Amino acid sequence: MKILITGAGGRLGAALMREYQRKFEVTGFNHAQLDLSNPDQIRERIGTASFDVLINAAAFTSVDLCETQRNQAFQINAEAPRLLAEICRDKDAKLIHFSTDYVFDGKKRAPYTEEDEANPISVYGESKLAGEKNVLAAEGPHLVVRVSWVFGPDRPSFIDGLIKGAQENDQVDAIWPVGARLLSEVRPAH
């Protein structure tokens, strides 16, 4: 199976690259190699590549910057996933698109499920929800995976902040994150 990973330089993408390259033929694009704000570059690089599964682990994830760069957030988090889904549909390939729990408002006091109504309260959440809808609207065997608080060894993370907080305070309140390695062990079916 040939797998293509966007966001290969990020925390999740790097973990997926490490895990899958031992078992599959894997190609990855980091931000310098593929600018998701550039539709022509997406068509050129992804449209001409040969793959069975495309894993989109790339996103504009800076919640604060999304508030001031709304157009960029929607281009990368909503329009690029639409284009990726359409390319996959045309190639008869599967898209696995990673999204976020920021599509919810956080008011529910129990775990969210895919049946819960999304209600984003930030531009980041709005753009990611639009991306989910765009992916699912494209015909094809596409999958949207919502995750929260991904951490891993490739860059400073929420866990690093927790450790620092625990060293400096008697108590740390937090919602537990999901590890990039754990997510990388989810096997794409083809």
Which has the closest alpha carbon to 61: 161, 136, 131, 165? 131
The token pair at 16 is: 């997926």
DSSP-derived letter for residue 111 is: -
* Dihedral sign, Cα of residue 7, residue 80, residue 157, residue 106: negative
The token pair at 4 is: 């293509």
What gap in Å lies between CA 135 and CA 142, rounded to an integer? Answer: 7
Active site annotation includes 20: no
What gap in Å lies between CA 63 and CA 29, rounded to an integer? Answer: 23
**Catalytic annotation, pick one of 20, 102, 112, 124:** 124
What gap in Å lies between CA 190 and CA 181, rounded to an integer? Answer: 21
Q: Please compute Rg for the chain using Cα positions.
A: 17
User: Active-site residue numbers?
Assistant: 124
